[in-house]
Amino acid sequence: MKKNIISVTTTANIALIKYWGKRDERLMLPAKSSLSVGLSELTTTTTFEHAEHDSIQASELHQPHFEKKIIHFVNEFRRDYDIAQPIKITTHNQFPTAAGLASSASGFAALVLGLNKLLDLRLSNQELSQRARLGSGSAARSVFGGFVVWHKGTLANGNDCFAEELFDAHHWPTLRILVIVVDASIKKMSSRDGMRLTVATSPSFKTWCAKSEQRISAMQQAIATRDLEQVGMLAETDWHGMYGAMRDTQPPLEYLSDASWVVIKTVQHLRAAGTPCYFTTDAGPNVKILCEEQDMGIIEQTIMALNKVKNIIRNRVACEPIIT
Ligand code: PMV
């Protein structure tokens, strides 16, 4: 049964084993596999309805060209599925757009899930993730909640490149991911441009890709046993590899600010003093901290006392997208 108005809420995700660099730019195929966890509080809600003519309303269109990207994405989708109907789309993020909080991941995942439902296309999970990937690589992982692996695949046509959920939100109810917002302004270079430069010029990129690919199964195992220390150490090791490749890119990429480094050092000090906590970052200055629920208080107190942080968003592992 086709419904007239569809509402979709999706969540951003943070990669524990990172995606950085493509093996095919046009098809958006990644150079390596990645593994992420969904962030319960970083949500995008998008509504879809049939209309007389196309329209896009976005409450936060801070990112340059974001609206154009959405229109292009929707048009390609309709072309590929031979659909002519005009659609009205309204989208709203609950978090700062384009500050390294992966708003494009939840945004494009919501678009795919909503169009699939509104147009009654009945795409499989695999197809949904493949379609979302064309908007933004990490969006392939946001069509699910929980812990998600995105397989890089080896086929030139990308048919074996898709994401799948490994564990749902109930698997690890005490895990917390604190998003430490140090700067909510627009990032300097898009991840797309940054990745392209890294692939073209970084001497360490290929070695990191090979090592990182092997970490996927170790990370899956560590999550299976809810081993925070192992998850955290693997995530940090992988982050160091990505960061190293960003830094030996020509010209070097730097997405972190001084405040990001102060937070990272504080995580290291807290850990040395006996509080289990681990950090990661993406293509932006905000830092994400992995910890258990019971340690959240001391970590937050210590971080806020630095006076460098705008706010902290407490996340659990995200549930599945909500489609109504
Ligand atoms: O999906 P994009 O183009 O926003 O790239 C995301 C890249 C990182 O956030 C840095 C890492 C990742 O795996 O999400």
The position carrying tokens 């590929």 is 80
Residue located nearest, by CA, to atom 10 of ligand 1:
282
pLDDT at 96 > cutoff 80: no
CA of residue 234 to ligand 1 center, whole Å: 18
CA of residue 80 to ligand 1 center, whole Å: 25
Q: Which residues pair with 179 in a beta bridge?
A: 288, 313
DSSP H stretches of helix in 10-60? none
The pLDDT value given to residue 61: 52
pLDDT tens for 163-173 read 999 999 999 99
pLDDT tens for 263-282 read 999 999 999 999 999 999 99
pLDDT at 315 > cutoff 50: yes
Q: What is the per-residue DSSP string for 265-290?
A: HHHHHHHHTT--EEEEE-SSS-EEEE
Please compute the mean of the pLDDT values over residues 198-223 and round it to a whole number.
Answer: 98
The pLDDT value given to residue 98: 44
CA of residue 148 to ligand 1 center, whole Å: 14
Look up the pTM and report it: 0.94
- What percent of the chain is predicted at pLDDT more than 70? 94
Instruction: Please report which helix (H) or strand (E) contains residue 9, including its range.
Output: strand 5-17
pLDDT tens for 146-158 read 999 999 999 999 9
Q: How does residue 183 score in pLDDT terms, banded at 50, 70 and 90?
A: confident
What residues contact residue 177 under an 8 Å CB cut-off, 6+ apart? 14, 37, 39, 288, 289, 290, 315, 316, 317
pLDDT tens for 118-145 read 999 999 999 999 999 999 999 999 999 9
Q: Which of 18, 73, 247, 260 to mutate to test the pocket of ligand 1 (most atoms within 8 A of CB)?
A: 18
The pLDDT value given to residue 103: 75
Q: How does residue 60 score in pLDDT terms, banded at 50, 70 and 90?
A: low
CA of residue 150 to ligand 1 center, whole Å: 12
Q: How does residue 66 score in pLDDT terms, banded at 50, 70 and 90?
A: confident
The position carrying tokens 């460098």 is 308
> In 10 A of CB 250, how many CB atoms?
11
Given a contact cutoff of 8 angstroms between Cβ atoms, the answer to whether 222 and 231 are in contact is yes
What residues contact residue 323 under an 8 Å CB cut-off, 6+ apart? 6, 7, 8, 113, 114, 117
